[in-house]
Amino acid sequence: MVSSKSNVILFDSHCHLTDRAYSLNLKEVINRAKDTGVKYLLTAGLNRSDSKNSLKLCHEFDSIYCSIGVHPHDADKFSESELTEFKILSKDNRVKAIGETGLDFFRNYSKPENQERAFRAQIDLAKELNLPMVIHIRDAYPQTMKILKENGYFKGVLHCYSGDEAFAQEAIKLGFYISISGSITYDGNKLKSVIKQMPLDRLMIETDAPYLAPVPNRGKRNEPAFVRYTLQTIAQILNKDFSSLAQITTDNAKRCFGIQD
């Protein structure tokens, strides 16, 4: 077990702290994260209003940074006018990325053509602002790669990675980071071979809270304090020491998002 008093510093590179799952006790959730060494959190915006709420949280808690954008599930509601608003929000230095954006052809909650349109617009926006992107991909790996290459901008992180080794290698060569969620703690996960092949300087960790709670909390509400279980599992798989991986993944996320302090 990892002592909560150890001086490791962790970065939960992707969570959704605006989720109503935390509406009653966000302060406790953030304090528990702090107590387990999570010094940095990036809360990812899902649409226009959620992005604004995410930024609001950054000013309530020192440890929180955010990304702003439109999730593929919300792409049907995306309009070009949002880009102007995102540009204004991005002037706030707690905004560290554009997203989460990407393609989700598993759920298809928004039409594929709308997802593509919103994704391309957000790549252009990230490029214009020189910000990294937070990219969500589900059942859309070749389509995502095609769009990224057509737009020629390769800065950011593939969050909650669930693809294969070959795709990860290609994305890393282009310049992307890969973020691993609690799903690595579920038995028989194919991600194990992906992380064994990865250069450590591209590895990030996340909870995607309130979803995907890692073992031993699988099935419960997830929260940033649980990110250490994901790192423990990665440390076992890679046969590395927990605190050095904590340092590496935190440095990687800070570099990816341009956080200096």
CB 182 within 8 A of CB 224: no
What is the C-alpha separation between 54 and 59, in angstroms, rounded? 9
CB 193 within 8 A of CB 146: no
From 2-10, 43-51, 81-89, 243-251, span contacting Ni ion (CB under 5 A): 43-51
| Contacts of 169 by beta carbon, 8 Å cutoff, 6+ apart | 197
Rounded least distance, CB 99 to Ni ion, Å: 9
Q: What angle do CA 68, 30, 75 make, to 5 degrees?
A: 25
Q: Total residues contacting Ni ion (rule CB under 5 A)?
A: 1
Q: 44 or 191: whose CB is closer to Ni ion?
A: 44
Element (DSSP H or E) covering residue 228? helix 227-238
What is the C-alpha separation between 125 and 133, in angstroms, rounded? 10
From 41-49, 58-66, 182-190, 251-259, span contacting Ni ion (CB under 5 A): 41-49
Q: 44 or 225: whose CB is closer to Ni ion?
A: 44
From 38-46, 110-118, 148-156, 219-227, span contacting Ni ion (CB under 5 A): 38-46
Q: 209 or 246: whose CB is closer to Ni ion?
A: 209
Q: 33 or 44: whose CB is closer to Ni ion?
A: 44
Rounded least distance, CB 70 to Ni ion, Å: 12
User: Which amino acid, residue 225?
Assistant: A
CB neighbours of residue 143 within 10 Å:
17
- Binding flags for Ni ion, 44-73, as an x/- string (CB under 5 A): x-----------------------------
Q: 8 or 44: whose CB is closer to Ni ion?
A: 44
Residue 239 tokens, joined: 């046969």
The site for Ni ion (CB under 5 A) is made up of: 44
